[in-house]
Amino acid sequence: MATNKHAIIRYHALDQCFSNPGKRYFIDDLIEVCNDALYEYTGASDGVKRRQIFEDIKFMESEQGWSVPLERFKDGKQVYYRYSDRNYSIKNQAVNESEAKQLKETLSILTRFKGMPQFEWMEEMLIRIESAFNLKGSTNIIVGFEHNQYLKGLNHFTEIFNSIQYKRVLKIEYKGFKQIKSTQVIFHPYFLKQYNSRWFLFGYNEDFNSISNLALDRIVSLKAISKKYQENNAINFEEYFDDVVGVTVSETVKPIKIQLEIVKSLWPYIESKPIHGSQRIISKKQTNVIIELEVQINYELITTIFAYGEGVKVLQPEEVRVGIMNKAKALLNNYL
């Protein structure tokens, strides 16, 4: 049984009922208590069904749950439920099998941070968790994440993360790819995003009086300064990147429709891994598929299309066709 948020709320509500010797809880009472708990914690008012409560009880009594010492007492034609041990509660028990499984999955994900600068504490933490919950040998790496631990700028990650969390203004010495000399930037950090194995910091840039993004590997140094932090009250970063491929977002450029012709041999790859969330099929032929995207034109879009080489042809608009054509000509000139 999945131990999702609603299930956990129900288990603890039932546990309170079963451990209360002063009241008899029949099935209808258990349903009412669970519904009240779900409404209090989540606002959900759909209502728990009788069958769900029976399934919850079955799970709590199982070895995968907590093996609770639950007794059933008849009162006429009805049955009420109570722990045989008045001192028993699932709150006092070690993690059950399902919780241990979730911990193991979490630990396998946490191992991706091992070896990153300023995450040395992760080694000790993983060992302590394994020991405390008897999860020895659970952190063998079975998932490989796209991650370059030698990327420059990762040593700033923890300080930036904490500055976002605790709302600290940063003075950043930054040297962009096209800059000859580094410059000082007063930056109010809001959001960290990874793209193409590189990290980018988004926030309010006082020099530009607008939102900017800085590549972490181009940050020379940074330090927190004593200055009033400007809150982010305008941007929802869960939606901020909806109209782009990559991380370059313009507040003034509108997304436009772009049509691409995909050769048949490449289509299964692009179908399973869309170039953008707006991707939709215009037509399918024996030799190709024509798709449409609705995105802002930026560097990452042009680079992504170009990376597919002869497998993708831009049909419209003309400015994107020309952009790809110029890159192709420049590439060809390198080999002439």
CB 183 within 8 A of CB 171: no
Other C-beta atoms within 10 Å of 331: how many? 11
Question: So what's the pLDDT on residue 172?
Answer: 96
Sign of CA dihedral 297, 300, 301, 307: positive
Residues with Cβ within 8 Å of residue 18, at least 6 apart in sequence: 25, 68, 70, 81, 82, 83
Q: One-letter amino acid identity for 32?
A: E
Q: DSSP string spanning 91-119?
A: GGSPP-HHHHHHHHHHHHHHGGGTTSTT-
Question: If pLDDT is split at 50, 70 and 90, which confidence band does 147 have?
Answer: low
Q: Is the pLDDT score of 279 beyond 80?
A: yes
Give the 3-state secondary structure of residue 250.
coil
Assigned token pair, 308? 């597919």
pLDDT digits (tens, 9 = 90+) for 81-113: 999 998 899 888 766 666 666 666 666 666 655
Ordered by where they begin, the domains of the chain are: 5-92 (1.10.10.10), 154-225 (2.30.30), 256-333 (3.30.70)
Among 83-97, 120-134, 260-274, the least confident range: 120-134
pLDDT digits (tens, 9 = 90+) for 22-69: 899 999 999 999 999 888 887 766 778 899 999 999 999 988 788 899
Question: So what's the pLDDT on residue 114?
Answer: 54
CB 111 within 8 A of CB 139: yes
Q: In terms of Cα–Cα distance, which of 223, 230, 214, 229 is closest to 168?
A: 229
